[in-house]
Amino acid sequence: MAFDLPELPYGRDGLVPHISEDTLNFHHGKHHNAYVTNLNKLIDGTDHENASLEEIINAAAADPSKAGLFNNAAQVWNHTFYWHSMKPGGGGKPTGKIADLIDRDFGSYDAFATQFKAAGGGQFGSGWAWLVLKDGKLAITKTPNAETPVTEAGVTPLLTMDVWEHAYYLDYQNSRPNYMASFLDNLVNWDFANQNLADAS
């Protein structure tokens, strides 16, 4: 069973002016698509052919000889999760249960935003910043390259922000801080975080 490139949950121009159509043409149409194509080549005719994406990620993470498979499978998953972590007209302070938990576990939305941007800014080179649920509490983590909380037992990803340069270079050039500020102020999809939280309980 081959994997397909998932549709974006909005048009390629849906995040303008914060993320351009050009960026999504490359990021979704080229980068994400290449991970899907590579994944399909790597599983073709193997034991992984009929496995779920999560099963492939976890199996490959446990086998150092399958780094290429891990990288492509995890990047397929991470990118699909990232597209849903944003929405047109998103951003700003959360509502619903996630808002209550952010106040409980970080003290305030502003404290959360500072720590989330510090995680993204502190990821040297390529990677991801995450808001996760761990042991019943919210936590902020960062992962390098393709690494993903999917492989961590007891951790539920709630939101992610791609901090690979390909996510922001066309729109923000070298300014990862400006991209991260725009992600939180204009793009983040708190409905998705609330849905993930509800699914986890």
CB of 24 to Mn ion, least distance (A): 11
User: Rule CB under 5 A: is residue 179 a binding residue for Mn ion?
Assistant: no
Q: For Mn ion, which is the closer residue by CB, 75 or 194?
A: 75
User: Rule CB under 5 A: is residue 171 a binding residue for Mn ion?
Assistant: no
CB of 189 to Mn ion, least distance (A): 17
Q: Give the interface size with Mn ion as a residue count (CB under 5 A).
A: 2
Q: For Mn ion, which is the closer residue by CB, 28 or 117?
A: 28
Q: In what order do the strands lie in the sheet with 155-162?
A: 137-144, 127-134, 155-162
Torsion of CA 200, 62, 53, 152, to 10 degrees: 20
Q: Report how far residue 128's alpha carbon sits from residue 112's, in angstroms, rounded to the nearest whole number.
A: 16
Interface with Mn ion (CB under 5 A), residue from 116, 162, 176, 179: 162
Q: Report how far residue 97's alpha carbon sits from residue 190's, in angstroms, rounded to the nearest whole number.
A: 10
Interface with Mn ion (CB under 5 A), residue from 164, 183, 190, 192: 164
Q: Report how far residue 19's alpha carbon sits from residue 64's, in angstroms, rounded to the nearest whole number.
A: 35
Choose one: 3-11, 43-51, 161-169, 176-184; the region binding Mn ion (CB under 5 A): 161-169
CB of 75 to Mn ion, least distance (A): 7
Q: For Mn ion, which is the closer residue by CB, 164 or 190?
A: 164
Q: Report how far residue 163's alpha carbon sits from residue 145's, in angstroms, rounded to the nearest whole number.
A: 9
Which of the 8 DSSP states describes residue 46?
S
Q: Report how far residue 107's alpha carbon sits from residue 94's, in angstroms, rounded to the nearest whole number.
A: 14
The residues of the shown chain that bind Mn ion, judged by CB under 5 A, are 162, 164
